Amino acid sequence: MNVSLIFLLGLLTVIAAAKSKSDKLQIGVKKRVENCDLKSKKGDRLHMHYTGTLEDGTEFDSSVARNQPFTFTLGVGQVIKGWDQGLLNMCEGEKRRLVIPSDLGYGDQGAPPKIPGGATLIFEVELLTIERQKEL
């Protein structure tokens, strides 16, 4: 009985570890910037290029293809949570790869027709410009 219990606990630990890895935001730096004096923070207006794909490689959106950067304010809910978290402390010119679990993306409902419910999203992003408001 002890052997079965130990095996079961070990199996549950492995399953939980595998699940928690896929449920976390993954941030990979593809291009670092030397001499970065300004890093993105909550409240900054960011100008980004991005390409978004599903896990199978299907592209669902790209500012690069449109040749039009996407502009938004970081940390105020204008974008999915995976972006609000994954684009913090980024430098102008830096490139990252974000792997965003569905709970930090579009969740179980998805964003039909291009993004199915429960989808993990993969973004290749480049921070072009940071606009920072003067602090009082």
Q: Active site includes 50? A: yes
> Catalytic residue among 27, 44, 80, 115, which?
80
The active-site residue out of 100, 106, 115, 122 is 106
| Known catalytic residue at 123 | yes
Residue 90 DSSP label: P
Let me know if 15 is a catalytic residue. no
Does residue 70 have an active-site annotation? no
Q: Which of 68, 85, 89, 67 has the alpha carbon at shortest distance from 76?
A: 85
Residue 46, phi-psi category: left (phi > 0), alpha (psi -120 to 50), beta (remainder): beta
Instruction: Let me know if 80 is a catalytic residue.
Output: yes
Considering 60, 70, 72, 130, which one is annotated as catalytic? 60
Task: List beta partners, residue 70.
Answer: 48
Which segments of 23-76 does DSSP mark as H helices, in order?
A: 63-66
Which residue in the list 61, 70, 103, 130 is annotated as catalytic? Answer: 61
Among the listed residues 27, 44, 50, 115, the single catalytic one is 50
Q: Which of 44, 115, 122, 123 is catalytic?
A: 123
Q: 27 catalytic, yes or no?
A: no
Distance CA 40, CA 43 (A): 9
| Catalytic machinery residues | 50, 60-61, 80, 106, 123
